[in-house]
């Protein structure tokens, strides 16, 4: 069969006609119960917990390279595999997988626009038969380019070239809801709740590019800046990371651990 170059954001209709191409692996990161009832034909299931680590109270950390190597090998990913990911919640979990793959040095990936909502609601075929992955050999070539640590952020708090984008709810951002020792946000961060990027009337797809660019520009998020995204654990912000990448932003980083890291460290400043 012929290999195919797929876009970062792939429509369900496009995926349906390209599922049979060589080296395309579809990964479902939805709920296990949902996968057992319906999933994209041929999709393998991945438990989200396998691609995140924790060191309580800090959640959403990157697993070590050996762990990622084992997980991705067991899924059937090698250097030539094009991974197409989706979930049943709008894309946060799927985006975190793709971000993690990029950190592991793998850049052949796509996110299904709208995920399972768009796929199933628009009449595409669904299956209930579990798929057993065929293991492959994955080698991590660690890439820190997509990552921001607390130290990295701290050094750039006053930089005119860097913008911090907090994609938690407004209540979390303003400190009215607290999921860490301290409430609030990183100094200078602007708020853009991650679901604002989704079109509810289009089965949770990304909103149109023009609309997204305007929403972001209105809060000072411009493509000529370095953008660092965070939430509580870099789950929601992984989705925003992919939104920005899709829009052509070249310098985007995600903060693993996010507010569960920053908000639990008394040595770091907050607003």
**Catalytic site residues?**
231
* SS3 assignment for the chain: CCCCCCCCEECHHHHHHHCCCCCEEEEECCCHHHHHHCECCCCEECCHHHHCEEECCEEEECCCHHHHHHHHHHHCCCCCCEEEEECCCCCHHHHHHHHHHHHCCCCCEEEECCHHHHHHHCCCCCECCCCCCCCCCCCCCCCCCCECCHHHHHHCCCCCCEEEEECCCHHHHCCCCCCCCCCCCCCCCEECCHHHHEEHHHCCEECCHHHHHHHHHCCCCCCCCEEEEECCCCCHHHHHHHHHHHCCCCCEEECCCHHHHHCCCCCCCCC
């Amino acid at each position: 069969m012929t290999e195919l170059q797929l876009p970062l954001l792939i429509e369900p209709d496009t995926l349906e006609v390209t599922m049979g191409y060589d080296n395309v692996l579809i990964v479902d990161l939805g709920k296990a119960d949902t996968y057992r009832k319906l999933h994209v034909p041929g999709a393998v299931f991945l438990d989200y917990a396998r691609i995140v680590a924790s060191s309580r109270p800090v959640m959403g950390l990157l697993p070590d390279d050996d762990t990622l190597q084992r997980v991705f090998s067991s899924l059937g990913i090698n250097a030539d595999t094009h991974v197409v990911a989706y979930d049943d919640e709008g894309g946060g979990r799927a985006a975190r997988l793709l971000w993690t793959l990029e950190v592991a040095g793998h850049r052949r990936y796509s996110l299904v626009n709208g995920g399972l909502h768009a796929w199933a609601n628009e009449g595409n075929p669904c299956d209930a038969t579990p798929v057993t992955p065929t293991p492959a050999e994955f080698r991590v070539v660690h890439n820190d380019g997509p990552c921001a640590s607390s130290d990295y952020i701290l050094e750039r708090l006053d930089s005119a070239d860097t913008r911090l984008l907090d994609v938690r709810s407004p209540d979390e951002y303003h400190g009215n809801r607290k999921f860490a020792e301290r409430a609030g946000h990183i100094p200078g961060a602007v708020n853009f709740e991650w679901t604002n990027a989704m079109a509810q009337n289009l089965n949770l797809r990304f909103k149109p590019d023009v609309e997204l660019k305007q929403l972001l520009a209105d809060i000072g998020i411009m493509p000529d800046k370095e953008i660092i995204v965070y939430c509580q654990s870099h789950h929601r912000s992984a989705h925003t990371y992919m939104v920005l990448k899709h829009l052509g932003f070249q310098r985007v980083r995600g903060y693993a651990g996010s507010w569960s890291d920053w908000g639990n460290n008394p040595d770091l400043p907050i607003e």
